[in-house]
Amino acid sequence: MILDTFRLDGRVAVVTGAGRGIGAATALALAEAGADVAISARTSAQLDEVAGKIHALGRRAITVPADLSDLSAVTALAETAAAELGRIDIVVNNVGGTMPNTFLTTTPEFLEEAFRFNVSTAHVLTRAAVPHMLKNDGGSVVNISSMMGRSPGRGFLAYGTAKAALAHWTRLAAADLSPRIRVNAIAVGSVLTSALEVVAQQPEMKKQMEDATPLHRLGEPWEIAAAIVYLSSRAGGYITGKVLEVDGGIVAPNLDLPIPDL
């Protein structure tokens, strides 16, 4: 009985940044739970591979190759998903990220770009999806934030600020959209995706990160995906406006960037 509350049969999800890593794992997890999925990323070949795996699970998938830093493309994604799959019930705002940068080389333009890519994309997609969600039983929005949104570390001023903004946007949007649409976020720790590929290939650096993580290992994309299924399903139906920390227990950055004092 309890496992049935995790099912997403008859639901439609939209997942951004779904060509690889957390986004791809999430799209597959949602499909395995019964949802049809609209997936978007820049690279068509990656999307096609993920869509093939979704089809193998017996679910529908549509691919929408797009540069989601273009906010008009974000709006179009919601409309395409609703038109081709008939509804929208779940939005996973996974696209985002920003390269590390020093304080003096973090220009206002760099900071604003980080905000746009991490926060504005989530706002625009959610705003476009809400009318479709309200046509049915409401829905669930899950945003991918980061532990860097709550913990200071050198080199992450733009990234951490943007992710902190996304976390509070989650709380504010949850208040605006209650009770029919729930909005939550996940503060992700160090997860073995392509973004950490360089680290994973350097044993000493990887060990440093593992040793600084209470669970003494890095996370796997499916572990984030599992949390997203929970927050998207009836199992998480009494949760809104919260930031779930899926980070191995870290309370401070587990990798120090070699940025010297000014």
Residues acting as catalytic residues? 159
Enter the DSSP assignment of 42. S
For the chain, list the strands marked E by DSSP.
12-16, 36-41, 61-65, 90-93, 139-146, 181-188, 243-246
Give me the half-sphere count of Cα atoms (radius 13 Å) on the Cβ side of residue 223: 16
- Helices vs strands, H then E, count in the chain: 9, 7
**Please, what's the largest Cα pairwise distance for the chain?**
59
Give the span between the Cα atoms of 110 and 206, in whole angstroms: 28
Give the span between the Cα atoms of 224 and 25, in whole angstroms: 8
Helix axes 108-115 and 157-177, enclosed angle (nearest 10):
40
Check: CB of residue 12 under 8 Å from CB of residue 38: yes
Give the span between the Cα atoms of 215 and 238, in whole angstroms: 28
Among 222, 221, 209, smallest CA distance to 250 is for 209
